[in-house]
Amino acid sequence: MAQNEKIRLGILFGGRSGEHEVSLMSSNSVFKVLDPKRYAVTPIGITREGHWVVGENIWQALGSGNTQSLRRAVLLPEPRSRTLYVQEMRAGQNVLTPYVDLDVIFPVLHGTFGEDGTLQGLFEMIDVAYVGGGVLASSVGMDKALFKDVMRANDIPVVNSILVTRNEIEKHIEKVLAQAENVAAYPLFVKPVNMGSSVGVSKCRNRPDLLEGLMDAAQYDRRILIERGVNAREIEVSVLGNSDPMVSIPGEIVPGEEFYSYTAKYAEDSQSLLEIPARLDPALTRRIQDLALQAYRAIDGAGMARVDFLLDKDSQEVFISEVNTIPGFTQISMYPKLWEASGIPYPQLIDRLVDLAFERKAERDRTVYQYGRSK
Ligand SMILES: Nc1ncnc2c1ncn2[C@@H]1O[C@H](COP(=O)(O)OP(=O)(O)O)[C@@H](O)[C@H]1O
Ligand SMILES: [Mg+2]
């Protein structure tokens, strides 16, 4: 890339997960601060059905579901071409025409098929630079059960839990209920392993609640976590960087409901608040920041992540709850807000993330993939 040339950046959003709308909001905020003097930006949408699309007024079109005016786009899994093609029917033939070449892709998609490593696998195949964690960090970050196992292996404290399958719930419910009640006294939390936005998460106060919670969660995933319910403050920190990541000051979520449910997160009339900085003593702040960096390294995090904690109000114990490798990115989202409060304004944060994507790509290019072959 010549010095004076613009960076050709594809911003990717929408997608097939339940967090489609959140992605539209986050990506639009990112798009608005990308400096047109520095970047030649191509917005690339993914419809709810999974079609990639480009064209005018794309956020509006995806938001309304009215995507007829948009053109279909595809990336081919060819290393190093990094070309986005438009796909059109001409005289009954399916024709691919080069649309734009991309230097870097900024995926702003949450949840399945975006944040879980699937998309990152495609980027690796194409050999393009991309913002955020790689395949492994993304998939481990997404899978709440595997994530907890990795934390346990690294002596990072997590809340007691067991993993059960949909099949066990359907065939051996009595056994599952007994095992669950062995984890801890009620309340217990039930959640699908691969979800986000609190979809399928429930707080269960007794056996009938638990039964209902398990049935609900089993709709969303084959694997279900049952956790001790912590009387908790919810503390979050932002991490930024590749091999030498930095960590922000902590923020606190004060949910407007009994826990930070889907409606507490997104409802128009939600009473949930972000408190930045979180009111914590310096020792606890440092402990949370250290654990966040340890967790980030343990999953081979890159680029960014928001690391969420449960702070037990009764015992003051800290537990890591989850890592979000593509956190919310609206102007009022915790991830950018924490950086702003830590001295990195939103536009600079975006520039830094793009730089980190190139840095990581350069690092990857140093790796030799075949024995006895040098680059
Ligand atoms: N073990 C737990 N104890 C207390 N509250 C919990 C527990 N697990 C989840 N929660 C509550 O449920 C919310 C969503 O759970 P979380 O594991 O963060 O899933 P998601 O990926 O959907 O955000 C949390 O923000 C918190 O309010
Ligand atoms: Mg969460």
pLDDT in tens, the chain (375 residues): 555 699 999 999 999 887 888 899 999 999 999 999 999 999 999 999 999 999 999 999 999 988 889 999 999 988 877 999 999 988 999 999 999 999 999 999 988 888 899 999 999 999 999 999 999 999 999 999 999 999 999 999 999 999 999 999 999 999 999 999 999 999 999 999 988 788 889 999 999 999 999 999 999 999 999 999 999 999 999 999 999 999 999 999 998 888 888 888 877 788 888 999 999 999 999 999 999 999 999 999 999 999 999 999 999 999 999 999 999 998 889 999 999 999 999 999 999 999 999 999 999 988 877 777 665
Closest CA to 24 of 33, 11, 34, 35: 11
What pLDDT does 262 receive? Answer: 84
Task: Name the closest-CA residue to atom 14, ligand 1.
Answer: 198
Ligand nearest to the CA of 144: 1
Partners of residue 279 on adjacent β-strands: none
Q: Hey, whose CA ends up nearest to atom 2 of ligand 1?
A: 229
Number of H helices, E strands in the chain: 12, 18
Residues in the chain, total:
375
To test the pocket of ligand 1, the residue of 260, 311, 315, 333 to mutate (highest count of ligand atoms within 8 Å of its CB) is: 260
Exposure of 31 in the CB half-sphere (CA atoms within 13 A)? 20
What pTM was estimated for this model as a whole? Answer: 0.94
DSSP 187: P
Residue 90 belongs to what H/E stretch? strand 83-90
- Tokens matching residue 190: 């039930």
The ligand minimizing its distance to the Cα of 188 is: 1
Ligand 1 centre distance from Cα of residue 317 (Å): 16
Q: Which of 228, 231, 310 has most ligand 1 atoms within 8 Å of CB, for mutation?
A: 310
Query: What is the DSSP secondary-structure string of 39-53?
Result: EEEEEEEE-TT--EE
Asked if 295 contacts 245 with a C-beta cutoff of 8 angstroms, the reply is no
| Nearest to 289, CA basis, from 311, 307, 313, 312 | 307
Distance CA 4, CA 281 (A): 47
Q: How far is CA 313 from CA 117, 234, 235, 248, in A?
A: 34, 10, 12, 22
Which is the closest atom of ligand 1 to the Cα of 260? Answer: 27
Report how far residue 201's alpha carbon sits from residue 184's, in angstroms, rounded to the nearest whole number: 17
Structure token digits, residue 313: 């109000």
In terms of C-beta density within 10 A (0-12 exposed, 13-18 middle, 19 or more buried), how is residue 87 classed? middle
Question: Minimum-distance ligand to the CA of 306?
Answer: 2
Give nearest CA residue, ligand 1 atom 15: 198
In the chain, domain spans: 7-130, 141-156+231-363, 161-228
Residues 6 or more apart in contact with residue 61 via CB below 8 angstroms: 45, 53, 55, 67, 69, 70
The CATH number of the structural domain formed by 7-130 is: 3.40.50.20
| Domain 141-156+231-363 coded CATH 3.30.470.20 | yes
Residue with the smallest CA separation from ligand 1 atom 19 is 198
CA of 198 to the centre of ligand 1 (A): 7
Please give the distance, rounded to the nearest whole angstrom, from the Cα atom of residue 310 to the centre of ligand 2.
10
Residue 238: predicted pLDDT: 98
Architecture of domain 161-228: 2-Layer Sandwich (3.30)
Q: For residue 181, what are the contacts with CB-CB under 8 A and spacing of at least 6? A: 188, 207, 210
Q: Which residue has the tokens 């595997």?
A: 146
Q: Pocket around ligand 1: residues whose beta carbon is below 6 Å from it?
A: 159, 189, 191, 195-198, 201, 227-230, 232, 234, 255, 259-260, 308, 310, 321-322
H helical segments located in the chain: 20-33, 58-64, 118-126, 135-142, 144-153, 166-171, 173-183, 207-220, 262-266, 282-298, 334-341, 346-365
Instruction: Give the integer Cα–Cα distance in Å for 232 and 317.
Output: 9
Task: Give the 3-state secondary structure of residue 174.
Answer: helix
pLDDT for 374 equals: 62
The best mutation among 198, 262, 273, 306 to test binding of ligand 1, ranked by most ligand atoms within 8 Å of the C-beta, falls on: 198
Tokens of 61: 């079109």
Tokens of 157: 């404290």
